[in-house]
């Protein structure tokens, strides 16, 4: 596990396994307004380092799940989910998860960019990603099926800009 220590608190990233998959499912239920199906969680088990849980003093408080997308004649890393429980936000956990994603993209060597969808009214997430150099590329109308507002912004960061991302 990768670990970061702040005062007496320890933050670590750990693998998603069949033994802790229920913790990821519960975390996602609390953090995100959408429900992910069983296939999503089955697929997550096969992602390896592209799926990580964030532990704060051995408690699961955040997670990231990504996949490689080869659409539009580009090889991009798509952040399917990246979230942290509200009481643990602003402690560097989201930054640690994002830094892990950036490392995966850099280590791959063939990734053009990292991108994700964010609900248009999620100002906290938009501010977080923009702070880390992501830019709004487009607005997808009616992207979400069962939540309002249904529109999403597509945010993207080019690989050439990845060196500017910090773990703040």
- Where residue 166 falls among pLDDT bands split at 50, 70, 90? very low
Q: How high is the pLDDT of residue 168?
A: 42
Length of the chain: 168
Per-residue model confidence as pLDDT tens digits over 45-93: 999 999 999 999 999 999 999 999 998 788 999 999 999 999 999 899 9
More confident residue, 2 or 106: 106
Please give the pLDDT value at position 2: 53
Task: Write the pLDDT tens digit of every residue in 134-163.
Answer: 999 999 999 999 899 999 999 999 987 554
Over 60: is that where the pLDDT of 116 sits? yes
- Please list the alpha-helical segments (H only) found in the chain: 21-31, 38-44, 93-108, 123-131
Q: How far apart are CA 116 and CA 99, in angstroms?
A: 15
Q: Which two tokens stand for residue 80?
A: 């399917």
| Alpha carbon separation from 121 to 54, 108, 144, 147, 151 (Å, rounded) | 25, 33, 12, 11, 9
| Residue 100 annotated in active site | no
- Single out the residue of 105, 106, 161, 111 nearest to residue 134, CA to CA: 161
With residue 81 as reference, give the H or E element that holds it.
Answer: strand 76-84
pLDDT at 74: 87
Average pLDDT over residues 117-135: 96
Residue 164 pLDDT more than 90? no
> Is 115 among the residues known to form the active site?
no
What is the rounded CA–CA span in Å between residue 54 and residue 74?
A: 29
pTM for the structure as a whole: 0.89
The residue annotated as part of the active site, out of 55, 100, 115, 117, is 117
* The pLDDT of residue 162: 52
Q: Which whole-number Å values give the CA distances from 12 to 3, 64, 95, in the listed order?
A: 4, 13, 12
3-state secondary structure of 41: helix
Q: What's the burial of 151, exposed, middle or buried (CB within 10 Å: 0-12/13-18/19+)?
A: middle
Pick the catalytic residue from 41, 55, 78, 129: 78
* C-alpha closest to that of 117 among 168, 74, 69: 69
């Amino acid at each position: 596990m990768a670990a970061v220590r702040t005062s007496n608190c320890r933050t670590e990233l750990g693998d998603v396994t069949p033994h802790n998959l229920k913790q990821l499912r519960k975390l996602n239920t609390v953090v995100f307004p959408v429900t992910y199906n069983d296939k999503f969680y089955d697929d997550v088990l096969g992602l390896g380092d592209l799926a990580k849980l964030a532990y704060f003093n051995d408690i699961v408080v955040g997670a990231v799940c990504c996949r490689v997308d080869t659409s539009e004649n580009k090889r991009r890393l798509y952040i399917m989910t990246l979230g942290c429980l509200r009481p643990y936000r602003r402690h560097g956990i989201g930054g640690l998860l994002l830094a892990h994603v950036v490392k995966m993209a850099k280590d791959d060597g063939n990734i053009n960019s990292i991108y994700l969808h964010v609900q248009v009214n999620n100002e906290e997430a938009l501010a977080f990603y923009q702070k880390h150099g992501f830019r709004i590329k487009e607005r997808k109308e009616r992207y979400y099926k069962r939540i309002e507002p249904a529109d999403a912004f597509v945010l993207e960061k080019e690989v050439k800009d990845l060196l500017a991302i910090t773990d703040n």
